[in-house]
Chains A and B, each alone.
Chain A
Amino acid sequence: MLNWLPPPEIIAQLGLIFVIFNMLVLSAAFMVWMERKVCAYIQDRSGPNRVGFEGVLQPFADVIKLLFKEQLKPKAADTVLFAIAPIVSTAAAFAAFSVVPFGTETTLFGLLDRPIPLEITDVNVAVLVIFAITSMGIYGIVLAGWSSNSKYSLLGGLRSSAQMISYELSYGLAMAAVIMMAGSLSLREIVTNQSGYWLGFIPRWYILLQPLGFFIYLTAGVAETNRAPFDFPEAEQELVAGYHTEYSSMSFAMFFLAEYVNMVTVSAVATSLYLGGWLGPFLPDWLGWIWFLVKVFLILFFYVWMRWTLPRYRYDQLMEFGWKWLLPLAVLNLFVTAAVVLLVG
């Protein structure tokens, strides 16, 4: 009767892609709300509290408002590149999440004959894929800065890309240390390598073996996503709004979407690399994704907390910190890890 349908695995895979895409969009909306709420409480205000319960529907109201705004374009802007830039940014942000696993294999309560893994695709070079796609995201920002034909945008775009390129080195070196310990480039294998306990109760997560690596990864991750205290691309006092000064309406919203989705991806990868992914006590295996969500949420909360606690650094301090402190630390971490892996096996 239903033989015109594609095989159930393909339907399940398409469903998974649909769910993940929408979860990412929703998580960006949730992040906007959480950011405003946490910021408000830190500053002793109540934050948005009119639209929906405690203002949870505020991001949706904002999106509707942005959708109905006029799409402006500077006269001297490069039409094609000006239109492509936000698309590149958003596409790169979403694509990077496709190789992040967030649960064990499941048959969806016996609906499928063969179990499918809870991730869009399991590539054996997943860590490098994330690294590659993140570096593509830079183009969105550079192009936005250049094609706007405005000096604030250009300076914002230049700063942002210089910052991302500088911190990408430490980011990659921190990842390399974990790759050496796990002996695999697949995120799924890296997570399963972290299963089990020491002394019966200490989880074998890489954060305990790589505390310095975790610190380097998180710091570089903040710089990669252009968040405070490293949010120079949009330093208001100096650059108005940085690379997206000239953008309005939905293309402006797409840059914001990309920024928040990037944060989610950085946190999800940190969870997989250092915090044991979906592994955790108390819950059965097939509910592992709850642990994954909890861990990602904690890292995201930490990001928001940091943004409203630390002031912005100066640009030269950022570069000095990246090249003179973080990079040597990352190299040292890599050497020590390599030596230990070689000696202990």
Chain B
Amino acid sequence: MDVLAFYAFAAIAVIASLLVIGQGNPMHSVMLLIVSFGALAGLYVLLDAPFTAVTQIIVYAGAIMVLFLFVVMLLNVPREEPAPPGVSTLLGPTGMRIGAVLSLLLAGEMLWALGRIGIGWFSQGVTAASVSSVALIGSGIFTRHAFAFEATSVLILVAMLGAVVLARREHF
């Protein structure tokens, strides 16, 4: 039952994510991304981490995607025209070629890294209680992972400042 549910959620997540980049209409991409996030939340539930699953839905599927949706809706992004036939994107402009090489490199790197450390590394020190208990997650964030937590918030602040600078560039 659990295995069936895992494959169902995993298949939905992968297929929806692939469809996200294949849509002509940005609205449809946003909706498919929400479906993908929902399937990820289902996977977290299967891992006995209901709190992470609910947070995933509230933060990603709920808050962040609503913002995406607003931007897409208000900017009224036009439909993307399909590329003219006979033009292979892999042989397209230099940017695309570099991108393709980089993504292949990343995939190879990830496969190599995962193969070296093995899957078991991720479950070290993780117990069922430490992912399902809200109190343990809370104390974990503010004690053991305090530095990573604070560093992430600084990172988000930098990204926010960057967005403001980029958006207001013409006024300076």
Report how far A32 CA is from B2 CA in the complex, Å. 41
Inter-chain contact A128/B31, CB cutoff 8 Å = no
Inter-chain contact B63/A81, CB cutoff 8 Å = no
A146 contacts B by Cβ under 8 Å: yes
Residues from 147 to 201 in A contacting B, C-beta threshold 8 Å: 147, 154, 158, 161, 165, 185
Q: Which residue of A81, A128, A146 contacts B54 across the interface (Cβ within 8 Å)?
A: A128
Chain B interface SS verdict (over half): helix
B57 contacts A by Cβ under 8 Å: yes
Inter-chain contact A124/B66, CB cutoff 8 Å = no
For chain B, the count of residues having a C-beta within 8 Å of the partner chain is 21
Provided the pairs A123-B50, A124-B50, A128-B58 are in contact, do residues A142 and B69 lie with their beta carbons within 8 angstroms?
Answer: yes
A131 contacts B by Cβ under 8 Å: yes
Report how far A135 CA is from B51 CA in the complex, Å. 16
Instruction: Specify which chain B residues have a CB less than 8 angstroms from the CB of A165 in the assembled complex.
Output: 66
Chain A interface SS verdict (over half): helix
Provided the pairs A132-B62, A165-B66 are in contact, do residues A125 and B57 lie with their beta carbons within 8 angstroms?
Answer: no
* Chain A: interface size category: 20 to 34
Chain B residue with minimal CB distance to A179?
A: B134
Inter-chain contact B63/A185, CB cutoff 8 Å = no
Provided the pairs A125-B50, A185-B134 are in contact, do residues A81 and B58 lie with their beta carbons within 8 angstroms?
Answer: no
Inter-chain contact B51/A146, CB cutoff 8 Å = no
B19 contacts A by Cβ under 8 Å: no
Inter-chain contact B27/A132, CB cutoff 8 Å = no
Inter-chain contact A125/B51, CB cutoff 8 Å = yes
Instruction: Specify which chain A residues have a CB less than 8 angstroms from the CB of B34 in the assembled complex.
Output: 139
| Closest CB in chain B relative to A131 CB, distance in Å | 6
Inter-chain contact B57/A81, CB cutoff 8 Å = no
Which residues of A line the B interface, CB within 8 A? 78, 80-81, 84, 123-125, 128-129, 131-133, 135-136, 138-139, 142-143, 146-147, 154, 158, 161, 165, 185
